[in-house]
Amino acid sequence: MRLVRFLLRYYPPGIILEYEQASQVRTKTIDLLDLTERTNVFELVAQLQQSEPLITANKVDQVSKLLLKLQSKLCSLDKHKYVHYKTLRTHVLPVTNVCFNKSGSKFISGSYDRTCKVWDTHKATELHVLDGHKNVVYAVAFNNPFGDKIVTGSFDRTAKLWSTETGKCYHTFKGHTAEIVCVAFNPSSTLVATGSMDTMGKIWDVESGSEMACLQGHTSEIISIQFSNLGDKVVTGSFDNSVSIWDVESGHKILSLLGHRGEISNAVISYDDSLIASGSMDKTCKLWDTRSGTCVETLYGHTDEVLDIAFDHRGRQLLSASADTTARVFDVATFKCLSTFVGHEREISKATFNPSGKRVATASSDSTVRIWDIASSNCLQVLEGHTDEVFSCQFNYSGDMLISGSKDNTCRLWRDENAERMAAA
């Protein structure tokens, strides 16, 4: 093996080793999820050198400098203050979902008008209209980190795979017998998973477009679906009050996670695949051990339905959003509530961490997006301008831009005020 180069990954923290073996370039990732401002970088490099043959003695200084740079980035203060950049009247009928590609250079929007549109973020211009569905386009996703493909799920009972660059439809995935409401790519972008109101999940091959597995076992609609980071498992959440873990290769159910007394609103898996979190209409969140399926802890505090949950990039914190107008952040190791965010006037339908995991954005039926500081629980900003419920918000990878989607048929782009000043200069 011959080392070609090192690459830094900020979120979640790690380094990527690019190397050559048998005339082929390969990559290996070293996760550094526990890297903090208190970490002795030189001791860490010594440990890595002992366990990783590609980190030879003559590479120690280079790796040390990279990790010091990574540590400095992770420990830097979040100073972003967001200002309105653009309002895009993206569709003639209500928007259903929006999301960025990894860099934030493009975003996509699904709509009741039966289309998905691809947008240039910085120019705020439409690149492609992905037209072909015969009913609402409800779920949309990029194959991040690559970003060259898009999957759309529709109420017409099909999903479609598209080229980001050309807008060409590669495949139409047919087989569901009811509306498709959630979609996901696996980490290597070779498979697509779809979840439907027909109670089934399906796994599709990106190259051939063929169905690889049918996930049967839920007794009500599947409303969330996600691949594990290793790509060997799929996690589904359902209105039957349960979460299921499935084997990707065989399509067989590995475990059913039972214990909620209300419908599941979302189920997510941590970056290291060790924990699954579920949010429910029973006002609680639960943490589950992925291997055993046992409930590690039930997280209480909300006084109304939990509508959304999310892990931070490291999988160390869990964020919950509720119909009780609040959001909360929990430490997944101690199960303690670190922050409670109070200020919205109506339910919070979407919540997300910024890349560093130090701040949170919440989208609410009160037509606003709010930015919160986790350490203090303070509301740092109220982003106003939408005239109807805001149901979606997402940061880009660098954290200097935010997108929000609303039932007022618009998407609003918000970016750091320093970037706005530089653009105006």
Round to whole Å and give the CA distance between 264 and 279.
6
Structure confidence at residue 1 (pLDDT)? 83
Return per-residue pLDDT of the chain as tens, 425 residues.
889 999 999 999 999 999 999 889 999 999 999 999 999 999 999 999 999 999 999 999 999 999 999 999 998 888 899 999 999 988 988 899 999 999 999 999 999 999 999 999 999 999 999 999 999 999 999 999 999 999 999 999 999 999 999 999 999 999 999 999 999 999 999 999 999 999 999 999 999 999 999 999 999 999 999 999 999 999 999 999 999 999 999 999 999 999 999 999 999 999 999 999 999 999 999 999 999 999 999 999 999 999 999 999 999 999 999 999 999 999 999 999 999 999 999 999 999 999 999 999 999 999 999 999 999 999 999 999 999 999 999 999 999 999 999 999 999 999 998 875 545 54
Beta-carbon contacts of residue 5 (< 8 Å; ≥ 6 apart): 18
Q: Is 90 left (phi over 0), alpha (psi -120 to 50) or beta?
A: alpha
Structure confidence at residue 425 (pLDDT)? 44
Structure confidence at residue 90 (pLDDT)? 84
Query: Which residue's entry shows tokens 């209409």?
Result: 281
Beta-carbon contacts of residue 327 (< 8 Å; ≥ 6 apart): 319, 320, 321, 340, 341, 348, 351, 360, 362, 372
Structure confidence at residue 188 (pLDDT)? 96
Cβ atoms of 352 and 371 within 8 Å: the answer is no
User: Rounded to whole angstroms, what are the CA distances from 348 to 59, 168, 225?
Assistant: 48, 36, 21
- Residue 278: alpha-carbon gap to chain centroid: 15
Q: State the DSSP H helix or E strand holding residue 108, giving kind and residue range, or none if neither.
A: strand 106-111
Q: State the DSSP H helix or E strand holding residue 12, giving kind and residue range, or none if neither.
A: none
Q: With both helix axes pointing from N to C terminus, report the angle between 41-51 and 60-75 in degrees, rounded to the nearest 10.
A: 130
Round to whole Å and give the CA distance between 243 and 268.
10
Structure confidence at residue 421 (pLDDT)? 56
How would you list the strands of the sheet with 158-163, edge to edge?
137-142, 149-154, 158-163, 169-174
Say what the pTM is: 0.94
